[in-house]
Amino acid sequence: MGVPDLEDCQRQFQQIGEGVGALAEGLTEAQFTWRPRQEVWSIQECFGHLTIVGQQYLRLIENAIQQARVRRITGAPPFHYGWLERSFLRQNEPPVRRRVPAPRRFRPVHGQPVTAILPTLLHVQREFIRLAELAKGLDLVRVKVRSPISRFIRFSLGITLAQQAAHERRHLEQARRVRENPAFPAK
């Protein structure tokens, strides 16, 4: 699996936004917040998690892009990413191979209404698309983005955008499994 380029990332974020809208369409609040089991996230929690993580990454990505523009860290594809970054990206790609609990700061609050979550998550998708556009012309390997988990962890801009798309697809698939659960409540 190769690392997607910026246009691929933009398409993925667009498709994720469309998938989020389609998955949430027509849901009641009870359906949106329903959990298959106590320890399994609801659709609302999957979307809430993506919103929290996305908002944190958006700030860090935008900051990295602004700094790269000032420092003129430009480049052109093809970009060659290291083994560790490619491995990190593969681990985030669906289907889930290994479950990793979300750090406390990224855990969503259960019970938030669809009207609070959906518009914000769709805005996050549009912002990722905008930032991928702003990143064009930059060296996607040399520009580094700090992780919101630790200031000591940094990944290349290209991997960060691709990883966010993979992470979102992973949780969109998780939300889809909730909706397809045979016990999912009827309207």
Q: What CATH number is attached to the domain comprising 79?
A: 1.20.120.450
Q: What is the rounded CA–CA span in Å between residue 98 and residue 64?
A: 29
What percentage of the chain reaches a pLDDT higher than 70? 99
pLDDT for position 96: 76
Number of domains in the chain: 1
For residue 140, being part of any structural domain is answered with yes
Nearest to 161 by CA among 1, 2, 10: 10
What percentage of the chain reaches a pLDDT higher than 90? 80
For residue 96, being part of any structural domain is answered with yes
For residue 87, being part of any structural domain is answered with yes
Least confident residue range of 37-46, 64-73, 92-101, 149-158? 92-101
For residue 186, being part of any structural domain is answered with no
**Number of H-type helices and E-type strands within the chain:** 6, 2
For the cut 80, the answer to whether the pLDDT of residue 18 exceeds it is yes
Q: Which domain holds residue 160?
A: 6-179
Residue pLDDT, tens place only, 26-57: 999 999 999 999 999 999 999 999 999 999 99
Give the three-class secondary structure for 100: coil
For the cut 60, the answer to whether the pLDDT of residue 100 exceeds it is yes
pLDDT for position 1: 54
CA 176 to the chain's CA centroid: 15
Least confident residue range of 45-54, 109-118, 167-176? 109-118
Q: What is the rounded CA–CA span in Å between residue 156 and residue 25?
A: 35
For residue 138, being part of any structural domain is answered with yes
For the beta carbon of residue 73, count every other beta carbon within 10 angstroms: 19
Q: Which pLDDT band holds residue 111 (cuts at 50, 70, 90)? A: confident
Nearest to 108 by CA among 162, 61, 56, 182: 56
Least confident residue range of 89-93, 98-102, 117-121? 98-102
| Residues pairing with 145 in the sheet | 155
